[in-house]
Amino acid sequence: MNTSVRIFLITILGLTITAIIYAPRMAWLSVIICMAALIAGFKIFMKTTIDPHRPIVYRFGHMHHIGQPGAIFIIPGIENIFPNQCVNMQLRTQKIKLNNMRPSDSNERFYAELQIRWRISPEITLIDTMIKMTLLMDMRQSEKTPDTTIDELGQMVDQTINVAAKHLALHYPKQAFERIDTREDFIQVLRDSVNEIFKPYGLILETVYWVDFDSNSDKLAAQVEIAISHERVSGLIKDIQEIREKLPDLPPEDVIALQAYLDLLRRGLPPPSPQFMQQIIQKQKPNPAAKT
């Protein structure tokens, strides 16, 4: 029973006792009126949220606390609950790739992959600034608007675990990761340390599973090269799209040439010659002879 329910019931009980004391002949009528007010109050001020979702209770327009699942009461005129603004307490599964992990006894990097299960902590009561930031990121993702293609909360979890795991790996020798007991110890320490970081943000890391481990440095180098190639291709595609938008009348062969020069600039090579850029600008200017 939350505070709002206690206030409502105490108010109804007080009004009933007062009416019976000052108007004993109308006691039955007072009881009927108070019962009707009690039923109407339950109907109007009671809000229901289905588990595992929990409502965000606004007080005077500000996020104040997270209510319990099921039926809760709000203080009319002071508190409010919006049906589309709830906190999902379900466990979320996510794979974490730990690249460029370095052990304590070697400069050689190794690769590991973890599968984690995390969620927003059910122990949250009052909402402070940091928890509010977490809830806003979660709500933006749940709305699935065009500008929320990136899971901000999941990305924050990924980056936090990556940083903590890389620092923790510096305390273990490389060969130790091939033993199961060392991996279990690593996972336990990692989970505890990450939960200490997550606590102010209202998050909790429930379970961590060790999925994959690879100490082949050549394979890691190849994976890095592939990732760099993918990023370069994405950059080239964006360059071509921007050239087409800014210079729509540019011939295809000049688009390819300009894109190649932009790629050279990205790699730190000398910029294109002024003569080349002047030719591009001249091709964009309308030809008066062609119009006549």
pLDDT, tens digit (0-9, with 9 covering 90-100), for 12-56: 777 777 777 777 777 667 777 777 776 776 666 777 777 788 888
In one-letter notation, the amino acid at residue 162 is: N
In degrees, rounded to 5, the angle at the alpha carbon of residue 201 between the alpha carbons of residues 147 and 210 is 90
Low-confidence residues in the chain, pLDDT < 50:
146-149, 290-292
User: In Å, what is the CA distance from 40 to each residue of 15, 111, 186?
Assistant: 15, 62, 57
Q: What is the pLDDT of residue 148?
A: 44
Q: What's the rounded Cα separation, in Å, for the pair 292 and 290?
A: 6
The sheet carrying 53-59 orders its strands as: 62-66, 53-59, 79-88
- Residues 197-211 pLDDT 10s: 999 999 999 999 988
SS3 content of the chain, % helix, strand, coil (to 5): 55, 20, 25
Rounded to whole angstroms, the Cα distance separating 202 from 120 reads: 6
Burial class (CB in 10 A: 0-12, 13-18, 19+), 218: exposed
- Distance CA(250)–CA(280), nearest Å, equals 8
Do 74 and 3 form a contact (C-beta atoms < 8 A)? no
Please tell me whether the overall predicted TM-score, pTM, comes out greater than 0.75 for this model: no
Q: Would you say how long the chain is, in residues?
A: 292
Task: Characterize 153-186 residue by residue with b for buried, 16 or more Cβ atoms within 10 angstroms of its Cβ, and e for exposed.
Answer: bbebbbebbbebbeebbeebebebbeeeeebeeb
